[in-house]
Each structure stands twice: as structure tokens, then as C-alpha cells.
Chain A
Amino acid sequence: MRNAVGREIPDELLNTGYEGYKGKFYRDGTIFQKQSPRVRRYGKPQESKVCQSIREACQQCGAHDGMTVSFHSDFRNGDYVASMVMKVLVEDMGLTDLTVAATSLGNAQDLIADYIAQGKVIGIQTSGVRGRIGEVISQGKLKTPAIIRSHGGRPRAIECGEVHIDITFLAAASADPLGNAKGTGGKHNCGSLGFAVLDAKYADHVVIVTDTLVEFPNLPAAIDCMDVDCVCVVDEVGDPAKIATKEARVTKNPRELMMAEAVADVIAATPYFKDGFSFQTGVGGPSLAVNRFLEKHMTDKNIKMGFALGGMSSVICQMQDKGLVEKLLDAQDFDAVAIEHLAQHSDRHHEISVSAYANPANKGAYVNYLDYAVLGALEIDTHFNVNVTTGSDGVLRGAPGGHPDAAAGSKCCIIVTPLIRNRIATVCQDVVTVTTPGDCVDVLVTDYGIAVNPQRQDLEDCLDKAGIAHVDIKTLQEKAYQILGTPDDLKWGDKVVAIQEARDGTVLDVVRQVISI
């Protein structure tokens, strides 16, 4: 069948119980039973849950062939823990048929690509896949299709029991011997542990991995010791240089600055830009710079931001310190300044779980209260569908993250991207993979002009009133093709290598094997 974004979803997938995407709020109001983990009692007092090794913890938690393990990505590309644990499971313990459910996978977990190729890892479920793992999956080497879910879709799937985690291995900056764990207070701090919180509640077994063991009780903790089975102490949980930069830098690239300024102008021209407005913040090239230009509009109009949501950086923290932002709701931190800020200002800088942030099945995720989301794109098509999952060569190399969640929840979702990236048209006729459906996207800002989704006539009127020029998105796509030529169609194999789930668990798109890479 063709789903609501015009993608052909194969019958064999629909026969397994999947439905095709039917619009952004199709499952709103439906009732479901939350799943619960199968846990072991620790009734008898114990002095410590510290294990001698990761292997001992795995054995204690009943690690076995065919199980599903999970990891979080708050240590980003600096994470050592996922690879460390997978090595023990596969190489030391000889386990096989494993499924890895992670909040994101990238170069730091390249080792898993080998295990996929060897058939040891047969399933991948993640909100992002980059590096060699994406390549081997696209080559068709993973036994079952990878499942790509957004930051909100992943906790939904866990709560609904679509994925059941046998053991979660949660890297923490500091922990006490009974398992109270946090992202600060250690040798290698990542700040918020927003990605880890839900797994601690829903996995059958919870193993904390830290390099800084502190005295009990390590409070306030992101992960509560009552949920923890084992604590492992290792030399290093990550590479500090890759966990967070010292301070996120605002770009000096004139093209990015121009786009950022245009985004801020669009925001200031819409009716939601008033005292107490809310804003999804991140650190991509132009989107960080948007903060700076927004600051100018806020000062001019003498208004403050109610809350900023998402990934925190020095820029948004400094805006809060100047009194321009009431609250920071922090699912992850990108630089050392933000990590320190979270530790210092618990009254106004709050750690939140990704489930609270984005889960469409909870009783009101924070994204639902967003006025503005400013997001990037690898590709956007003339129907405003966005791809942040696959490259233009069809290979998995992107991270949907919270993109589809913030887009669906916010009143005004602005995509900002250059028209052309390295001789590839960003604005195209049809995206390779639909990650965020066009019915969630409102405005596109490029270096060659602005386009408004025709379903948002109200926003078009706002821009007209403010004297902000805009064009049909088709004009932008044609301009890109005029400069670059029309791209050839990709050549796909038959095998479905990945399923791109919508936030609500329907199928937005499938990714097929690439013929040659």
C-alpha cells in the first residue's frame, strides 16, 4: 500500500502487524497497556552492587543468546561503553543473535558493524545510525531490518512492548555502589542523562557503568538505585574530547549567518513570538546562530523566552544567565559550559528524559508545548517531507533524533538548510527516505530563499505583512536542479534493510539495500 506520504510499504511488513503512516495524529486518543519489566528482588540488605567485571555483571543478569541489550547516547561520539560491553558479550562470552537497541549509534560503535557482518548481531533499533554500522546495514548484512525511531518513538515502542530490553548498560559520569547514577560529578561528565532514564525503568536488568565511584547516596540522581542490578567500574567511560566540546562556537560562515538571520526574522514575524514563547534549541551550524539573532529581536521587543527545550549549549545557557530565558529543559548537553550549567543551576536548568521530551504516547510531551522548532535537513522535497536518515546515495547515515517529534509538536517548524550541499540538491523532488512527514513542516529557509508550506496560509500572511519575501518550494527545487542538473534515480535492491517508523509506530518509509557502495 501507499501510505499518507506516498511511500510504497511492502505487504510482508504490513502482514507483521505494521500499519502505514496515516497522518501525524492518527493514533491520538487510542488506549494502550504499558508494559512492565520482569525484575529480580533484592530483599536482603546488600552493601554493594559493584561487580568485578562487565562479564560478571552480564552473567548475574542472565545474558543469553538472542537477547536485546540497550545503550544510551548522552556520551555521544565519545562513548566507550557500548563497544566495551558488546565486546564482552560477543568475544568473551560468545553470545550470538543479539539485538542492540540504542538511542543512537555512530563511529564510536563501529565495532558493532563487524558483529553485524559476522551475524552475531542480528537486530538494530536506534534513533540514529552513522559510520560503518549504517554502511553494513545498507549493504544488507543485518539479518533483520533495522528499526529507526525518533527520540519520542523509541520510548513509545518500549512502553508499548514493541521492544523489550533484557539488559540495559547505562554509562554514567558518577555512581555510588548501589547504583544511584548521574551525568555529572565524575571524571567524564556528559550533563543530562535524558536518554538513559526510561531504559532504567523498562529493562529487566539494569547495569550502571561508570569510571567514578562515589559514596552512597549519590543524589540527586538521574537513575535511582532501586532500579539498578549491578554497578561496573571501568577506567574510562568515554573520550572527553568527543563527549562535548569546550564551548559551542557560533559559525562565522556568512551563508549560515544569513540563513540564521532569516530564521530569526521569520520567528519574529509570527504571532507566537511574544513574552513566554518556547523554542527548540540545538547546535547545528545555522541553528546555533539563530539564538544570537533571536536575542536581538527579543531585546528589541522586550520579551523573554518561557522555556528552551532539547540539546543545550553555552549559547542558550548564557542567554538564560542574561535573564532572557526562564527555564532550560535539557535532554542532552553539547558543551562543557552547558554541562557545568546544569550542575550549578538546578532551579532553572532541568534535566528531562527523552520520553518526557518527545514521546507521543505519553500524556503530553514537552514538544507539544513548543512554539518554534528550528531543524536541519539532509534533504527536503517539494511536499516538505524531510530526510535526515539516509544520504543521497541511499546509505543510512543520519540521526532522526528528536526531529520528527519537535516538528510534529511545535506550532511553527522551520527547516533551515542550504539549497545545495557539496553538489547535491538539498531541496529535491522526492527525498530518499521520509524521516519527518511534510504535514509537520511549516517553513523552509534556504540561502536562496524562503518557502512556506501551502497548508500554512496564516504564516504566509505573517511573512507578507512583515515584508519577508518567499517563493514556492518548487521554485527552489527547480533552481537547485538548474544549477546541478537532475539527479539520476538511485538503484535499489529488493531487500528491506531498515524500517523508518513514524513517531506513533506506523511505517513512514522503508530503506532498501543499495546496489553498490
Chain B
Amino acid sequence: MIPRPKPKKFRLRRTMMFMNAQKPKLIRDAYIYGCDSIILDLEDAVAENQKDAARFSLYHALKNIDYGDTEVIVRINGLDTPHWQEDIRCVVAGGADGLRIAKCESADDVRQVEAHVLAAEREFGVEEGRTLLMAALESPKGIMNAYDIVTASPRMFGCAISGGDFRKSMHVQIVRGGIEMLTARGLVLLAARAAGVQCFDTMYPFIDDTEGFEAEVRQNREMGFDGKSIVNPRQIRYVHETFAPTEKEIAYAEKLIRSFNEQANQGVGVYTVDGKMVDIPFFEDAHRVLALAKACDVYRGDL
């Protein structure tokens, strides 16, 4: 049995890679690709009459495979199915780091899941509060309730927008440039930042369309997402490179922090760096950039 350390609510989650929990060949060493989180799927990837088999495979994978630093999240079936309660027992008993609530629409959904998670933790002797939660927002209603959802439980580390179902409810298709999801992405991001949790974009479904994928990833970063759902290991590298701070951003952050330390010693509050007025929030952001650069293993300086 492989003991996993207590999951961290806030950690690097640039890539969350989906894998069918029923496919041992896929999940036995999914960590080798270097994604930050893997999402073992009990929901859409698993046929209705295979749910038991998938849970069995998932439980043994969690118990026997050393996923190391890779976070292991399980996507459970929706609350409108007969499967989700047993899914939760399996996830908690296996010791996954967290679970992803599919088609989450309200704070009540979160509280209902949380209650079952707590019960399962007690049932299987797992530390109470250990199992983290994230919400997948897949419907207009879920997106409108985003803030309530992400603040419904202290276990909640973030939310992901899920494009497939959402586009269907909105009667739109995937469009280059992402205009069809612009408002939804914006709303979800606002809710997540307001609540102080992370926010992840939907997966890009066309594996061979590298150009389209890369354009979407760049837009994700420009909009302020923390990471992205992915469906193929080939997508990892570009996301990681794009979400890491650039050399320019790192250099500026270093300059800010060094100058702040000097100015603070001399009792100065507001001053200018490179002709731009800076104050406390700039330094906080500079620290965030350096922390992210370190987490992404692109920082070579000494701060």
C-alpha cells in the first residue's frame, strides 16, 4: 500500500490530465508524463454497465501505484446518477487527493458531496478534511452560481469550466478565438479570484490541431487561468511553458523586490520603477511571480 502525503489545497495545477479509470494500461504510470494533476475518470469515459469495474480498477491503482508528486483527483459521476455515493466511498477509501464534482450547479451540491466525503472519511479511518474538492461548472446555472459553489466548503480548491456540455446548453459550437465562451470564462475567473481559489479552463478536443490548441492556451494565460484540463500527454509541455513566467516577467519581479527592500529601508512607500509608479500590490504580485517561477522550475536567481 502506497501512503500518500496530505494533499495541499494550494499547489501548482497547470495541467490536469484526464484518464479513463478503467484502463490499467493508461493509469498504471500516468505520472511519467509530468502533468501536475491527473484526473481519473469514473464519469463519461466509463460505460454505464462498467462503473463497478472502473471503481475496482481505480481503488487498486490508488492503493498500489506510487504517483509521487503528481496530484490524483477522481472525477465522480453526477449527482443525478445512482453512482456518485459509491464513487465517493471508493475515492476516499483509496486515498485519492481529491474529487471533482461533475456538473456542479449549486452550493447545495457541494455540501451534499462534502457530507458524504466526511462520512466516508469516518468509515475508512481517513483523516477528516483530508479529501479536497473541486467543482466542474458545465451549465449556465453552474456558472451563474460559481461564487456560491467555490465558497461552499473549505475543502474547495478551485473550479473548472467544462466546455462540452456548456456549449450545448448555449447552442454554440467551438470557435477560433473562443468568443462563444468568453463571458462564461470571465465569470468563472471572477468568482474564483473573489473566493481566492484556483480556476481551470476546459480541455481542447482536437488533439492534432496544435495551432488551435496553442492559441487557446495562450488566451487562457492572458485571461488569468491557473491551468487547463488536457486529454493527451502531448499537450503538457506547451501548457507548462506558456503558464510559466517569462524571463522578462521574472526580471521585472526581481527588480521590484530588490528596489522595494532598498526603499523600505529608507522609509519610502510609493516610488517609480522603469518610469512606472509602484506600490504594495505590485510587490505582492512580484512575489507571486517568483513563487510561480520557482514552482515551474524556471527560476535561476537567488531571491
Contact = CB atoms under 8 A, between A and B. Distances in A.
User: Are A and B genuine complex partners?
Assistant: yes
Interface of A: 254-255, 257-258, 261, 447-448, 467, 483
A295 B232 CA distance: 22
A448 B32 contact: yes
A254 B237 CA distance: 12
Contacts, number: 18
Contact of A467 (B29, B33, B237, B297): B297
Nearest to B297: A467
Contacts of B234: 254, 257
Given A254-B232, A467-B297, A447 B32 contact: yes
Interface string B1-43: 0000000000000000000000000000100110000000000
Interface string B224-249: 00000000111001000000000000
Contacts of B232: 254
A467 B298 CA distance: 9
13 contacts: A254-B33, A254-B232, A254-B233, A254-B234, A257-B233, A257-B234, A258-B32, A258-B33, A258-B233, A261-B237, A448-B29, A467-B297, A483-B29
A255 B233 CA distance: 8
Interface centre among B32, B234, B237, B297, by most chain A C-beta atoms within 10 angstroms, is B32
Nearest to B235: A254
Interface of B: 29, 32-33, 232-234, 237, 297
A261 B233 CA distance: 12
A467 B232 CA distance: 24
A253 B72 CA distance: 23
A306 B176 CA distance: 41
Given A254-B234, A257-B234, A447-B32, 7 more contacts: A254-B33, A257-B233, A258-B33, A258-B233, A448-B32, A467-B297, A483-B29
B3 to A, nearest CB: 15
Nearest to B32: A447
B119 to A, nearest CB: 34
Nearest to A261: B237
Q: Which 10 A-B pairs have the closest CB atoms?
A: A254-B233, A447-B32, A254-B234, A448-B32, A257-B234, A254-B232, A258-B33, A258-B233, A254-B33, A467-B297
Contacts of B32: 255, 258, 447-448
A247 to B, nearest CB: 17
A254 to B, nearest CB: 4
Contacts of A467: 297
A225 to B, nearest CB: 51
A422 to B, nearest CB: 11
B8 to A, nearest CB: 22
A261 B297 CA distance: 19
Contacts of A483: 29
Contacts of B233: 254-255, 257-258
Nearest to A448: B32
